[in-house]
Amino acid sequence: MLDIDGILVSDDVCEVCFSCNIKKCRGACCVEGDAGAPLEDLEIGIIEDALEFIKPYMTHDGLSVVENSGVFDYDMDGHYVTPLVNERECAFVYFENGIAHCAIEKAWFEKKITFRKPVSCHLYPIRIVKSDNFEALNYHKWPICNPALIDGKRKNIPVYVFEKEAIIRKYGLAWYQKLKKEVEAKTKR
């Protein structure tokens, strides 16, 4: 485990190879699971403010959930998460050619909003664990991502490299450069 400016980074984030292959997994991470995607406090207001621009890309069921319950829910630990449709897919999912995509990100790609998507989604398969004493980045192993492990290994892309853009979004370029330097130093030992 590495400690970068007080943020712990698991060895798996540095060593496991990963390259998402949405054509093989079909966006299952947006559909499977026991809760919606984790949301940071500030993201709730951002999504609420951008909702009118996101709605055109949402499914009828997703819109219904959001209009009736709002843009967030709580997981079993009381943390903010995106709401689900029928306890299954994220309310912000839409489907194209049988592949799940994010309506928030679609609005961002279409330059309707400046918020890409929840940082937890952008970072996936990295999950942030927070407590009063620390913050840690862990690799979330999930069988639906097995195609990403195969492609990542073939391409030799570690998780932290695959998620470079998302990590920089969350922690900044200087922090990412420190992480990269530490991983490279550790690899040379």
The residues spanned by each domain of the chain are 1-18+125-189, 27-116
> Is the separation of the CB atoms in 179 and 136 below 8 Å?
no
Look at residue 100 and tell me whether its pLDDT is greater than 80. Answer: yes
Mean predicted confidence (pLDDT) in 154-160: 95
Residue 189's pLDDT band (cuts 50, 70, 90): low
DSSP state of 83: -
C-alpha–C-alpha distance, residues 35 and 45, integer Å: 20
Rounded CA separation 16/161 (Å): 10
The Cα–Cα gap between 50 and 113 comes to: 7
Q: Give per-residue pLDDT as tens, 118-143.
A: 999 999 999 999 888 889 999 999 88
Neighbours of 19 (CB within 10 A): 19
pLDDT, residue 132, reads 81
What is this structure's pTM? 0.90
Tens digits of residue pLDDT in 50-87: 999 999 999 999 999 999 999 999 999 999 999 999 98
